[in-house]
Amino acid sequence: MENKPQPNPKEAILTGYIRYRPSNGTYYLMANSRMLCNQLISQKPIKVKVTKEDNFFIIHKVLEGNILTIRKKEIVTCISGINLLTVEERSKLMNKEHKLSFPVQVKLFPSQFNLDIYSLYPDQDAAILARKLEEKGFNIPTRIMTPKSFDHDLEFIYANKRIVIEITQTIPGKNNYLNFKHAGLGGIVRAHFLEAYHNCVNSFLSGKKDTIGFIIIHERWKEYSHITKLIPEFSKVNCHIIFSNFKDNWEEITTTQIITEIKK
């Protein structure tokens, strides 16, 4: 396979922001990740040191440093504004028009916290599939797949193609009330279909044809003709529907199907 595997992802990239608190003259680095907070809560107290490299603020776990505060959805620590921020950045933080904050990218090393990068994914189905794809040699982005950072449950580049994947375990109801309706859980399934399909259509219309889409849904949707009728139409724009029972080894089976399609 063209892409070499990353057997042990060393870093995770999160969205975050720098905030200034005038009342105590302190600068804070905050990183958003509910999953990270859930993983770290049992490790308190945690001490960290923050460095800066290129455009990344990097959080290192250390024996002596600032306390890492763990909230419900974000981690927070104090930083040195003089050492880590430019004069322009500090000036921006003093301006109330910027709400005393600005967005940044945050990097940390999961192994330092005894974590696996995929344990930080908010969508665990995406995490399971990403881990299996990586085992097969695909390069999965180190940036954590969150709704704010990526448009899809999972996406990566392979052989100059953008691979986009939507996953939902939602199953139809007994009275067929989830048959792709706009409202309720049926609407959730519909949204997954449209996200992947629109990307593939746009890729075809632009002439690039550089996007391959996959929609992974529960196998019980095969019972509904309005779903199965979509298969040949979606395939015309390189968007593929994969049915799964989401039971033992589902990620292995799904990965094999994905590989078969992208190698055609």
What integer pLDDT is reported at residue 29 of this predicted model?
A: 98
Q: How far apart are CA 11 and CA 87, in angstroms?
A: 28
Q: What is the pLDDT of residues 192-236, one digit of tens each?
A: 788 889 999 999 999 999 999 999 999 998 988 888 999 999 999
Give the model's confidence band at 5: pLDDT under 50 very low, under 70 low, under 90 confident, else very high.
very low
Cβ atoms 258, 233 nearer than 8 A? no
pLDDT over 70 at 115, yes or no: yes
**Cis peptide, bond prior to residue 45, ω within 30 of zero:** yes
**Which residues, including other chains, have CB under 8 Å from residue 147's CB and lie 6 or more apart?**
122
What dihedral angle (degrees, nearest 10) is formed by the CA atoms of 120, 121, 126, 128? 10
Q: What is the pLDDT of residues 171-199, one digit of tens each?
A: 877 554 455 544 445 555 677 788 889 99
What integer pLDDT is reported at residue 4 of this predicted model?
A: 39
pLDDT over 90 at 82, yes or no: yes
Cβ atoms 154, 129 nearer than 8 A? yes
Identify which has the larger pLDDT, 148 or 117: 117
Instruction: Report the range of poorest mean pLDDT among 57-66, 217-226, 253-262.
Output: 217-226
Average pLDDT of span 79-92 = 94
What integer pLDDT is reported at residue 152 of this predicted model?
A: 81
Identify which has the larger pLDDT, 151 or 49: 49
